[in-house]
């Protein structure tokens, strides 16, 4: 039993690019004992998911394992036939993916999918026995109504519940090893904490080994016994969790740590009698007549300041943005731009009013037209709003690219597909800036980015704000982002504003109970945080 469960030596994986192969994982070693949890951290493109899949002896389409050895429980996976490897997957090594919603089959009930692996694929158990075990596992994963929930379809349960059901499904054959690939990244903080606790307890209970892949340091600190940091397909360093948190050795690891504690200096409050750039007064809105998704929302966005709108999904923060951009007409209340009422429908607004409010999106991938070059993307608002053409337009595009810290000569003719996520988001910012707006609505602009890249974007936004006197409405569920950028915080729940005030007041007690829950759910860089947070919850 002292033998390691999984040993990976000098693993090399390559990905197909055009007609050649480029290395993705460049000689990584890994060792995992029975019952141990290893955290894998790294930015996107670091090769962590590829490495996680390789632990099952699996290479995604377009990739191949080109060298090294993977030994699982004494067997060399690379030497086994694909058929034998398939026999191990699901039964002895299981996988939990990031998006449970995309990985469940929407046409089958949860319990049927739970039972598929043990009864139909590996045929090691009977159906009744498996379904009884399923109910027990659902109870252990603290799913509400464990006896009944299995009979629901995936779309009938919430995202957090689905992620727990997926973990239960991975455990259906009692595997020795589970690979978790960012299982909580897509969840709200308040849901994430429940899923984390459920996963950790279940894994501990059965003595399952696990590889936990994430880009969130604070999350991995709760889950893992050891942490390995990857970058560009190579190992940066590996240490036991507590040692790693206390003293990262490498420069790169230290830079990851520094980002977490970034905080903006407080700025003086805006002049009280100055007209705010945007004022929402008692705004209500509905998608379907009679069911209000926003109720009496009121707040101001002062000139040159950032207002963060915080809340879980479904709290109405994105709906608020839709109302003020004119995509969703409001049913009562009013929106004022610079003291003048703003027509509530998009079609009723003048070109100049449209120009004043610009938007930056969460998914930079879908926010830029893949068939337009950077020149066309940034040039269009310049021509549309300001009538710039030819040389004047070209000069302004270059000026904007310089402002967002991209070299005009090498980027102006590219298509969005040839940019990284962070660069795409910068182009989104440049497109918004091109209109010379007063207010920019930022909808979760950093949540799809790696921490270091996100930090760069926040710094850029802040610099642009100071240079150009812009106002931001920052929609986010990440309180670390709020700390880094906001002057004023609006907390929303169920379509209503529950609390608002200057940032420092909001982060200091006393809190509204909901704000308290939100704050307490944000993972901290402390290996004991989850235990403490759960204890506090129980206590209440």
Partner 1 sequence: MTLTDIKTAPPTALFGIAVIALYILVALFAPLIAPFGETEIVGMEFEPWSGAYPLGTDNLGRDVVSRLIWGTRNSLGIALATTVLAFGAGAGLGLLAAVTGGWIDQLLSRLVDMLIAIPALLFALLLLSIYGTGIVNLVIVIAVIEATRVFRLARAVAMDVVVMDYVEAARLRGEGLGWLMRREILPNAAAPLIAEFGLRFCFVFLAISALSFLGLGIQPPTADLGSMVRDNAALITFGDITPLLPAAAIALLTVAINFVVDWVLHRASGLKD
Instruction: Note whether 380 binds partner 1 by CB under 8 A.
Output: yes
Q: How far is CA 284 from CA 219, 264, 290, 318, 515, in A?
A: 37, 32, 11, 13, 22
Least spacing, CB of residue 491 vs partner 1, in Å: 26
- Contacts of partner 1 in 313-332 (CB under 8 A): 325-327
Is there a contact between 241 and 226 (Cβ–Cβ < 8 Å)? yes
Q: What is the 3-state secondary structure (H, E, C) of 209-244?
A: EEEEEECCHHHHHHHCCEEEEEECCEEEEEEEHHHH
Q: Rule CB under 8 A: is residue 368 a binding residue for partner 1? A: yes
Size of the site for partner 1 (CB under 8 A): 25
Nearest Cα to Cα of residue 51 among 28, 35, 34: 28
Residue 387: CB atoms within 10 A of its CB come to 9
- Say if CB 500 and CB 299 are below 8 A apart: yes
- Pick from 415, 486, 497, 412: nearest CA to 446: 486
Q: Which is nearer to partner 1, 227 or 301 (CB)?
A: 301
CB of 324 to partner 1, least distance (A): 11
Residue 130 or residue 358: which is nearer to partner 1 going by CB?
A: 358
Shortest spacing between CB 379 and partner 1, in angstroms? 12
361 binds partner 1 (CB under 8 A): yes
The nearest distance, CB 364 to partner 1, in angstroms, is 9
136 binds partner 1 (CB under 8 A): no
Q: Is 366 in the site for partner 1 (CB under 8 A)?
A: yes
Backbone angles phi, psi at 204, to 5 degrees: -65, -45
Any contact of residue 348 with partner 1 (CB under 8 A)?
no
**Among the listed residues 101, 264, 354, 498, the single contact to partner 1 using CB under 8 A:** 354
| Strand partners of residue 442 | 360, 474
For residue 231, the minimal CB distance to partner 1 (Å) is 25
Regarding 367 and contact with partner 1 (CB under 8 A), the answer is yes
Pairing of strands 20-32, 496-502: unpaired
CB nearer to partner 1: give 444 or 499: 444
Across the beta sheet with 278-288, what order do the strands follow? 291-301, 278-288, 332-337, 340-341
Residue closer to partner 1 by CB (options 156, 369) is: 369
Residue 418, interface with partner 1 (CB under 8 A)?
no
List the structure tokens of 411. 């980027």
Figure out which of the listed residues 122, 215, 305, 431 binds partner 1, where binding follows CB under 8 A. Answer: 431
| Binding of residue 384 to partner 1 (CB under 8 A) | yes
Q: How far apart are CA 273 and CA 429, in angstroms?
A: 30
Q: Give the one residue of 20, 74, 106, 370 binding partner 1; rule: CB under 8 A.
A: 370
Our finding on whether 349 is near partner 1 (CB under 8 A) is: yes
Residue 123 or 371: the one with the smaller Cβ distance to partner 1 is 371
For residue 211, the minimal CB distance to partner 1 (Å) is 29
- CA 82, CA 37: separation in Å to the nearest integer? 27
Torsion of CA 271, 273, 277, 281, to 10 degrees: 130
Instruction: Give the pair of three-digit tokens for residue 156.
Output: 């009938």
Neighbours of 370 (CB within 10 A): 9
Residue from 417, 463, 469, 525 touching partner 1 (CB under 8 A): that is 417
Q: If binding is defined by CB under 8 A, does position 190 make contact with partner 1?
A: no
Closest approach of Cβ 477 to partner 1, in Å?
A: 18
> Which two structure tokens, joined as six digits, stand for 227?
């942490």
Output the smallest distance, CB 347 to partner 1, in A. Answer: 9
Beta bridge partners of 475: 309, 443
DSSP3 helix / strand / coil % (the chain, rounded to 5): 40, 25, 35
Q: Compute the least distance from the CB of residue 361 to partner 1, in Å.
A: 5
Q: What whole-number distance in Å separates Cα of residue 272 and Cα of residue 469?
A: 17
The nearest distance, CB 12 to partner 1, in angstroms, is 24
Candidates 7, 281, 298, 372: give the one binding partner 1 (CB under 8 A): 372
435 binds partner 1 (CB under 8 A): yes
> Nearer to partner 1 by C-beta: 345 or 536?
345
Residues 351, 387, 467, 509: which binds partner 1 (CB under 8 A)? 351
Edge-to-edge strand ranges of the sheet holding 93-96: 93-96, 177-181, 209-214, 37-41, 226-231, 234-240
Q: How far is the CB of 408 from partner 1 (least distance, A)?
A: 22
The residues that touch partner 1, with contacts defined as CB under 8 A, are 325-327, 346, 349, 351, 354, 358-359, 361, 363, 366-372, 380-381, 384-385, 417, 431, 435
């Amino acid at each position: 039993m002292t033998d390691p469960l999984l040993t990976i030596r000098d693993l090399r994986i390559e990905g197909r690019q055009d007609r050649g192969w480029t290395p993705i994982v460049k000689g990584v070693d890994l060792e995992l004992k029975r019952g141990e949890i290893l955290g894998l951290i790294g930015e996107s493109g670091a090769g962590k998911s590829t490495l996680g899949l390789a632990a099952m002896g699996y290479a995604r389409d377009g990739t191949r394992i080109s060298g090294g050895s993977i030994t699982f429980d004494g067997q060399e996976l690379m030497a086994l036939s694909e058929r034998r490897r398939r026999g191990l997957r699901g039964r002895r090594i299981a996988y939990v993916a990031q998006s449970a919603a995309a990985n469940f089959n929407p046409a089958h009930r949860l319990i049927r999918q739970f039972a598929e692996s043990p009864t139909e694929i590996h045929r090691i158990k009977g159906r009744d026995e498996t379904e009884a075990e399923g109910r027990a596992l659902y109870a252990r994963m603290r799913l509400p109504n464990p006896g009944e929930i299995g009979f629901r379809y995936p779309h009938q349960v919430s995202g957090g519940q689905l992620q727990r059901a997926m973990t239960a499904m991975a455990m259906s054959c009692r595997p020795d090893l589970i690979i978790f690939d960012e299982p909580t990244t897509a969840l709200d903080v308040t849901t994430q904490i429940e899923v984390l606790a459920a996963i950790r307890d279940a894994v501990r209970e059965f003595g399952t080994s696990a590889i936990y892949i994430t880009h969130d340091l604070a999350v991995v600190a709760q889950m893992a016994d050891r942490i390995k940091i990857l970058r560009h397909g190579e190992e940066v360093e590996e240490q036991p969790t507590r040692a790693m948190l206390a003293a990262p050795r490498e420069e790169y690891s230290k830079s990851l740590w520094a980002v977490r504690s970034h905080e903006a200096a407080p700025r003086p409050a805006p002049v009280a009698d100055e007209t705010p750039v945007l004022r929402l007064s008692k705004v209500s809105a509905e998608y379907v007549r009679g069911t209000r998704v926003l109720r009496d929302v009121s707040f101001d966005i002062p000139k040159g300041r950032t207002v963060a709108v915080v809340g879980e999904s479904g709290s109405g923060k994105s709906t608020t943005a839709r109302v003020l951009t004119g995509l969703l007409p409001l049913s009562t209340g009013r929106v004022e731009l610079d003291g003048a009422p703003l027509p509530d429908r998009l079609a009723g607004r003048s070109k100049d009013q449209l120009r004043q409010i610009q938007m930056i999106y969460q998914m930079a991938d879908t926010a830029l037209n893949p068939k337009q070059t950077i020149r066309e993307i940034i040039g269009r608002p310049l021509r549309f709003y300001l009538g710039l053409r030819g040389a004047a337009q070209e000069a302004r595009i270059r000026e904007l690219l310089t402002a967002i810290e991209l070299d005009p000569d090498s980027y102006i003719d590219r298509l969005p597909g040839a940019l990284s996520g962070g660069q795409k988001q910068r182009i989104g910012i440049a497109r918004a800036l091109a209109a010379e707006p007063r207010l920019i609505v930022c909808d979760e602009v950093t949540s799809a980015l790696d921490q270091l890249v996100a930090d760069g974007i926040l710094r850029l936004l802040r610099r642009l704000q100071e240079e150009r006197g812009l106002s931001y409405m920052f929609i986010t569920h990440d309180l670390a982002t709020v700390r880094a950028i906001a002057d004023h915080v609006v907390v929303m729940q169920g379509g209503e504003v529950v609390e608002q005030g200057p940032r420092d007041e909001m982060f200091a007690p006393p809190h509204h109970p909901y704000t308290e829950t939100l704050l307490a759910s944000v993972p901290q860089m402390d290996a004991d945080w989850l235990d403490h947070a759960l204890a506090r919850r129980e206590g209440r």
